[in-house]
């Protein structure tokens, strides 16, 4: 089941996006609707709100006076934190119950205003942010919902900034145009990314780049680091309950600024023992996070030549997102393969001449090899010399894995 989080600032239009996804076939859980359910008369959450904020936030008929509560909490960050601590667990439990009932093969959408603020986006396969400039949002809320302008601005100030949401966003939908344009953008997202992603998850097949080297190796892209940070955060969150992970790091060519590379995010997961990667709870966590094990790739090429191959063993997985190709290398913390992945990245980051030499070697091999698989194999002799030079640099500079 593909999990998609939809979020955006108040008045941004995220409800339009979620509604359209529901029309296309997704199962939508609306956090605002759930939040209203958990404070209905008779619910324990309402009693805790009354106890903390007083009788003035409850009407004579026993229902919550939302306007009175909003007037207390939105101008006061500490009061808002208290309210979130009261309502958050109740909302999370009910949302989990509803999403657990979603059948396999159906996209599960979570419409959540505070997805970024509460760092809940790390549990979604994709985060969709609906974005509209602040003044447009203020005007919409005043004109369409009849809210006071000061109230609207207090609410906006209490939420994440556009920059914070973009950092968590896999997809940003611009809602500065017409409603029809927004719906068209949702339809395209559904057809081009969400449905293929869901099919790969259900089928257990990872996304792949075309096996044509000239199409795969590209000039540096400005979004590589941001994409990698989201992958790292999600993997760390998924694997944290297992207790076996020592670190999750962005490695490979896309982790080196200015280096041309295949448009693939490589991530290393360090585990205490490589056998931990074969534990069922770890495998389940990786599968649930959207990664598929590849059983024909269990080792890297040992360096130097003749080195013990067991020190270069790993587990390899690929991501299912058709728009963000990800390779996950699970290695034992401290082994030669784990150390070299970090060393190679840091060496190229700190030695521009070596980075440029590697780029030149890539360009030469691209002229000689048409398929990506042949291109990857052809790079191995260069890596033998690179291993020697990188280790000499580490000894000279005192480099240690962080």
Instruction: Write out the binding residues for ATP.
Output: 11-16
Tokens coding 132: 């509209």
Instruction: Give the whole-angstrom CA distance, residue 332 versus residue 40.
Output: 51
CA–centroid distance for 105 within its chain = 21
Percentages (nearest 5) of helix, strand, coil residues in the chain: 55, 15, 30
What number of other Cβ atoms are within 10 A of residue 236's Cβ?
15
Residue 166 CB contacts under 8 Å (≥ 6 apart), including other chains: 129, 131, 172
As a whole number of Å, the CA-based R_g of the chain is 25
Instruction: Give the whole-angstrom CA distance, residue 402 versus residue 399.
Output: 9
H-run or E-run covering 85: helix 77-100
Residue 15 CB contacts under 8 Å (≥ 6 apart), including other chains: 30, 111
Instruction: Give the whole-angstrom CA distance, residue 336 versus residue 344.
Output: 12
Contact 104, 201 (CB under 8 A): no
With H, G, I as helix, E, B as strand and everything else as coil, classify residue 291. strand
Instruction: Give the whole-angstrom CA distance, residue 327 versus residue 268.
Output: 9
Binding residues: 11-16
What number of other Cβ atoms are within 10 A of residue 156's Cβ?
19
H-run or E-run covering 30: strand 27-30
């Amino acid at each position: 089941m593909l999990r998609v989080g939809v979020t955006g600032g108040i008045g941004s239009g995220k409800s339009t996006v979620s509604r359209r996804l529901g029309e296309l076939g997704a199962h939508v859980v609306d956090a605002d609707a759930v939040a209203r359910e958990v404070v209905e008369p008779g619910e324990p959450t309402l009693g805790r709100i009354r106890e903390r904020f007083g009788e003035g936030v409850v009407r004579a008929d026993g229902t919550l006076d939302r306007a009175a509560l909003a007037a207390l909490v939105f101008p006061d960050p500490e009061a808002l934190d208290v309210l979130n601590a009261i309502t958050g667990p109740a909302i999370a439990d009910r949302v989990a119950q509803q999403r657990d009932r979603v059948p396999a093969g159906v996209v599960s959408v979570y419409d959540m205003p505070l997805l970024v603020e509460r760092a809940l986006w790390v549990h979604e396969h994709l985060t969709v942010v609906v974005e509209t400039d602040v003044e447009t949002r203020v005007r919409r809320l005043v004109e369409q919902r009849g809210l006071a302008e000061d109230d609207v601005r207090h609410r906006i100030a209490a939420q994440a900034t556009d920059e914070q949401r973009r950092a968590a966003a896999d997809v940003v939908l611009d809602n500065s145009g017409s409603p029809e344009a927004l719906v068209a953008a949702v339809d395209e997202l559904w057809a081009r990314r969400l449905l293929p992603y869901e099919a790969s998850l259900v089928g257990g097949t990872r996304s792949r780049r075309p096996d044509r080297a000239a199409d795969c190796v590209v000039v540096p892209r400005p979004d590589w680091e941001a994409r990698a940070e989201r992958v790292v955060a999600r993997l760390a969150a998924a694997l944290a309950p297992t207790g076996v992970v020592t670190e999750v790091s962005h490695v490979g060519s896309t982790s080196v600024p200015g280096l041309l590379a295949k448009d693939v995010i490589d991530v290393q997961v360090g585990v205490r023992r490589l056998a931990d990667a074969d534990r069922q709870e770890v495998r389940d966590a990786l599968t649930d996070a959207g990664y598929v094990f590849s059983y024909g790739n269990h080792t890297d090429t040992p360096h130097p030549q003749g080195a013990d191959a067991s020190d270069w063993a790993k587990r390899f997985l690929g991501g299912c997102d058709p728009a963000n190709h990800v390779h996950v290398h699970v290695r034992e913390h401290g082994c030669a393969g784990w150390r070299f992945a970090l060393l190679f990245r840091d060496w190229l980051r700190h030695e521009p001449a070596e980075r440029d030499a590697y780029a030149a070697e890539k360009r030469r091999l691209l002229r000689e090899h048409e398929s990506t698989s042949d291109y990857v194999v052809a790079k191995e002799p260069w890596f033998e010399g690179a291993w020697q030079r990188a280790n000499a640099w580490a000894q000279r500079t005192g480099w240690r894995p962080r």
